[in-house]
Amino acid sequence: QHSTPSHINTANNMAYNYTKMNTGRPEPIQQQQPPPQPGKKYELSVEQQPIRARMCGFGDKDRRPITPPPCIRLVVIDNQTGREVDFQDIDSTYFVLMVDLFDAAGQYQMYGPPQAAMIPATPIGSNHTRNLIGMNAVNACRLNDLAGKPGFWFVLQDLSVRTEGTFRLKLSLFDIGAGDGTNGTVHLNGPSKGKGPCLATNYTDPFTVYSAKKFPGVIESTKLSKCFAQQGIKIPIRKDGGPKVPNQSEFDE
């Protein structure tokens, strides 16, 4: 039997534990730029933006992923030359992308609505409820883009939103194995209070989450989604030539 690498376990634990108190109102967030890293600058380039999703409510059986799945390319710039660093010279072993749900303006982090406490739900922790559910901590994957160029990508194919509205995703890149003696671990009072430094942040474009009655249907599978699915990423792909009926179960794994 092969043991799971510590950084994978850490990312999974971050996804499970990174929750906030459900206060019933948005929490204002003071934006802070990541501290500059010596020699390199890190950027998160959102190559595929989220567009829409169907709300999944507060049960656990009817998960509806955001479509198309956001795809973020890791860009590393050499500060001396100003040029992008070749992917072969990047150690992405301990890079983790954390994802948070914000309002459309990117000013407030969004939690469950006040009435959420009245709806039965499976709690993540005591008195904790998340409006964004799924894998909100992902590791970098080495993938080839549509032009066949290799690079490191973060693919967010397993994210759902409980309530309707217009939102953005905040993306934060962390190095959880930065040689600080933590052995790739982060003390979780939220990643910003952990041991791993934040290397870069970015936001997606706004996307809309609809109620079941208003949902116009999933977005057609994009070329980039199909490209990554062919490389082993578990992205649901629509059947080619199938009927375009809103809300149907038209996905293949």
Model pLDDT for residues 33-81, shown as the tens digit of each residue: 555 556 899 999 999 999 999 999 887 777 899 999 999 999 999 999 9
User: CATH number of the domain at 6-216, please?
Assistant: 2.60.40.3960
pLDDT digits (tens, 9 = 90+) for 222-248: 999 999 999 999 998 876 544 443 444
Q: If you count them, how many residues does the chain have? A: 253
Q: Which of 12-21, 115-124, 161-170 has the lowest mean pLDDT?
A: 115-124
How far is the C-alpha of 202 from the C-alpha of 43, rounded, in Å? 8
CA dihedral over 248, 215, 225, 162, signed as positive or negative: negative
Give the residue among 131, 182, 184 at the shortest CA–CA distance from 160: 131
Query: pLDDT-based confidence at 3, cuts 50/70/90?
Result: low
pLDDT at 16: 42
Domain ranges (residues) in the chain: 6-216
Closest CA to 61 of 133, 166, 168: 133
For the cut 70, the answer to whether the pLDDT of residue 189 exceeds it is no
174 within 8 A of 18, measured Cβ to Cβ: no
What span, in angstroms and rounded, lies between the C-alpha atoms of 208 and 252?
A: 24
